[in-house]
Amino acid sequence: MRTLESLGDLNAKTVVIRCDLNVPLRDGVITDDGRIRASLTTIRELREAGARLVLISHLGRPAGAPEERYSLRPVAERMSELLEAPVAFSSETVGEEAEAARAALGDGDVLLLENLRFNPGETSKDEGERQAFAEELAKGADAFVSDGFGVVHRRQASVTELAGLLPSAAGRLVAAELEVLQRLTENAERPYTVVLGGSKVSDKLGVIAHLLERVDTLLIGGGMLFTFLAAQGHAVASSLLEKDQLDTVRGYLAEAERRGVRIVLPTDVVVAEAFAADAAHEVVAADAIDSSSFGEAGIGLDIGPDSAVAFAAIIADSATVFWNGPMGVFEMEAFAGGTRAVAKALTETRGFTVVGGGDSAAAVRALGFADDQFGHISTGGGASLEFLEGKALPGLEVLA
């Protein structure tokens, strides 16, 4: 994969950097700036090299037209604070304003263009439309740097087509993410434990299938655990259940047993009367969820305290741990215990720990943990999972 060194001297050159600045916003305020911070390594290095930087990114899922709630303007303001340097902002992605803002850049200056997805060409299924938009983005630029790992699994104008129009290379963030993922799939130190959570087992099927050949232990939490419990014949009351995946899960359980891989399910679960922060709740055995005080209306919203202790002990004995997906509804304090316990265990083990982006990264920060307490926090939830599934990532292939 081509790295920054392949681009040569970038002094006074205009460089377009595809970042992933898709941060969570609440009422226009950034609630987690982790992705902005992760992008700064490459930006600082290229600023020091005298490059003129044009940053591009998406935010949210606008339908190919401007929506104020998805504007990147708050990102420009926060990035300026973190860089301790001005970050210019163009309210256009392409057009006269954007071109004028590019032309005004001096050596080491930084410009952030408005949300890529305000233009339908960014995500179009038509290659010609993507190509046309990429050509607009490439105007006046001397090089392209791909540094948004969270989008390298997407075939989009700013990820794939743009890389083919300019001398291109991976930024430091993408290179670091790839190094970590290769370590997880090719030469992970054993014992190797993977912790999987999140709402749906269907989101993780490919990962489970691919990792069964590589890991020693799979710990299962989150909403997906109930499909596993149901596959073993247990009633789960009103908990999240994907009935169409039961046979697939049974197959994975059998395959894991054949390979000698431990799949560890919770022994206890926090069951609530309703999906609400203030709902009445109690801890019950994982094989007796329908026997809670709430009967068939009960909803499992977290792994129980005994399970949290057991999961932490397995993590402590592991040399490599990859975690993707919270153990429960961590946004509600009553159901954050399992996620907090897993995060704490990762900070205390001597092994190499990777938090797999997405909700997991948001959870550790929301629960008060610092990024440097973990071996690596990925910025690419979906991209990381697809890599671990063994899929080719278009945004990396174009940099080969």
Which residues are annotated binding-site positions?
Answer: 20-22, 35, 58-61, 117, 154, 204, 300, 331, 357-360
Report the candidate in 91, 48, 101, 56 with the shortest Cα–Cα distance to residue 71: 91
Q: Within a 10 A sphere around the Cβ of 325, how many other Cβ atoms?
A: 27
Question: Which H or E element spans position 255?
Answer: helix 246-259
- Distance (Å, rounded) from C-alpha 356 to C-alpha 185? 14
Which positions make up the binding site for ATP?
204, 300, 331, 357-360
Say if residues 251 and 228 touch (Cβ distance below 8 Å): no
Q: Is 148 designated active site?
A: no
Give the phi and the psi of residue 322 in degrees, each rounded to 5: -115, 130
Catalytic residue among 200, 250, 262, 344: 200
Q: Is 223 designated active site?
A: no
Angle, CA 197 vertex, CA 192 and CA 200 arms, to 5°: 130
- Distance (Å, rounded) from C-alpha 54 to C-alpha 135? 15
Say if residues 167 and 10 touch (Cβ distance below 8 Å): no
Q: Within a 10 A sphere around the Cβ of 338, how many other Cβ atoms?
A: 29
For residue 107, the SS3 value is coil
Q: Is 358 designated active site?
A: yes
Say if residues 107 and 11 touch (Cβ distance below 8 Å): yes
- The angle that helices 358-366 and 337-348 make with each other, rounded to 10 degrees, is 90
- Distance (Å, rounded) from C-alpha 30 to C-alpha 82? 13
Catalytic residue among 298, 356, 358, 380: 358
- The amino acid sitting at 281 is H
- Distance (Å, rounded) from C-alpha 247 to C-alpha 292? 27
Query: By CB neighbour count within 10 A (0-12 exposed, 13-18 middle, 19+ buried), where does 383 fall?
Result: buried
Q: Is 200 designated active site?
A: yes
Q: C-alpha distances in angstroms, 92 versus 85, 95, 101?
A: 21, 7, 10
Angle, CA 392 vertex, CA 386 and CA 398 arms, to 5°: 125
Report the candidate in 302, 286, 274 with the shortest Cα–Cα distance to residue 367: 302
Show the tokens assigned to 28. 């226009």
Angle, CA 87 vertex, CA 83 and CA 90 arms, to 5°: 155
Catalytic residue among 13, 18, 34, 35: 35
Question: Which residues carry out catalysis?
Answer: 35, 200, 358, 382
